[in-house]
Amino acid sequence: MPKADSRKPKATKIMKKTFSNIAYFLGSMAILIGIWQLISIITKAEIPSPVSTWAVFKELMAEPFYDRGPNDKGIGNNLFSSIGRVFTGFALGSIIAIPMGMLMGSTKIGMSLLNPIVQILKPVSPLAWFPLGLLAFKDSGGATIFIIAITSLWPTVINTAFGVSSIPQDHKNVGKAFGFSTWKYLTKIVIPYSLPHIFTGLRLSIGIAWVVIVAGEMLSGGVGIGFFVWDSWNGLSLEKILVAILIIGGVGLLLDKGFNALQNLFSWEKA
């Protein structure tokens, strides 16, 4: 039974690894809280301490979905409306980014024509796009989605282009030798090969989208985690801001882990 033998140590190894991962994560959080506490002491509680923030957190979580009019909603409402916006903007961006990346990766002309555009637009701050969005959509919600789409699509464009352009000659030869149609070539060779690269791009893009949402909502107001931060600042509740920061960070981490899992799911095993 060599199979059973080789499996057992593997299982315990994995368990040991997850255990140490958890331990390290807890250690890391302890350092963060420690520094936070220290800063709070140094600033004489002008920056709220972890304990007082925790109290506010519990308060907010007691009724996360209350709705008392346009500018007074629970943190859950704000969070979910942000997530919804992020995914809308991200989806729109990706719908443009993936075909664009494929075009760039598959032809020299596509690369030469589109790459300068990517290079010029990529470094533009989301805040600079905002007025244009307002002008185009006459609505701050639309503008927020617009700036998320246009700032988050670049990593997907670049990674997709890279994936498509790096398809090995061997794989292309299969398509040539057996006369694959364009559709078959695309679905059986180009997409499967570049999928891991595309997911790397999507993962970076969702990260950017999540960073941008806060800035966007601070400008647009209404409802959303960014607006929540802005509103808390106006209400001078630093505890609420800290809670929001922690929630933003936590959701960002979850998004990243989720896309990482998707990436692993769609990666074929390299021979």
Q: How far is the CB of 175 from other proteins (least distance, A)?
A: 9
Residue 165: closest CA among 202, 205, 198: 198
Nearer to other proteins, 196 or 207 (CB): 196
Nearest to 150 by CA among 216, 84, 223: 216
Instruction: Report the amino acid identity of residue 202.
Output: L
According to the binding rule CB under 8 A, does residue 111 interact with other proteins?
Answer: no
- Work out how close the CB of 181 gets to other proteins at its nearest, in angstroms, rounded to a whole number: 7
DSSP tag of 49: P
Q: Which of 3, 4, 108, 269 contacts other proteins by CB under 8 A?
A: 269
Contact of 205 with 94, CB cutoff 8 Å: yes
| Between 46 and 269, CB nearer to other proteins | 269
Q: Residue 50's CB: how many other CB atoms inside 10 A?
A: 16
Q: At its nearest, how many Å lie between other proteins and the CB of residue 174?
A: 5
The encoded tokens of residue 21 equal 């991962």
Long-range contacts of 125-128 (CB under 8 A, 24+ apart): 125/151, 126/150, 126/151, 126/212, 126/215, 126/216, 127/215, 127/219
Cβ 36 vs Cβ 50: under 8 Å: yes
The two structure tokens encoding residue 178:
């057996």
- Least distance (Å) between residue 196 CB and other proteins: 10
Nearer to other proteins, 1 or 271 (CB): 271
| Nearest distance in Å: CB 198, other proteins | 14
Per-residue b or e along 177-215, where b marks 16 or more CB atoms closer than 10 Å to that residue's CB:
eeebeeeebbeebbbebbbbbbbbbbbbbbbbbbbbbbb
Q: Which of 46, 70, 170, 234 binds other proteins (CB under 8 A)?
A: 170
Residues contacting other proteins: total by CB under 8 A? 19
Q: Write the interaction track for other proteins spanning residues 174-193; mark x where CB under 8 A is met and - where it is not.
A: x-xxxxxx--x---xx--xx
Compute φ and ψ for 48, nearest 5 degrees: -60, 150
Q: 21, 28, 173, 264: which one contacts other proteins (CB under 8 A)?
A: 173
Complex with other proteins: residue 6 or 234, whichever CB lies closer = 6
Smallest separation (angstroms) from other proteins to the CB of 235: 54
Cβ at position 3, least distance to other proteins in Å: 15
Residue 271 contacts other proteins per CB under 8 A = yes
Interacting positions 186-245 with other proteins (CB under 8 A): 188-189, 192-193
Contacts to other proteins by CB under 8 A: 170-171, 173-174, 176-181, 184, 188-189, 192-193, 268-271
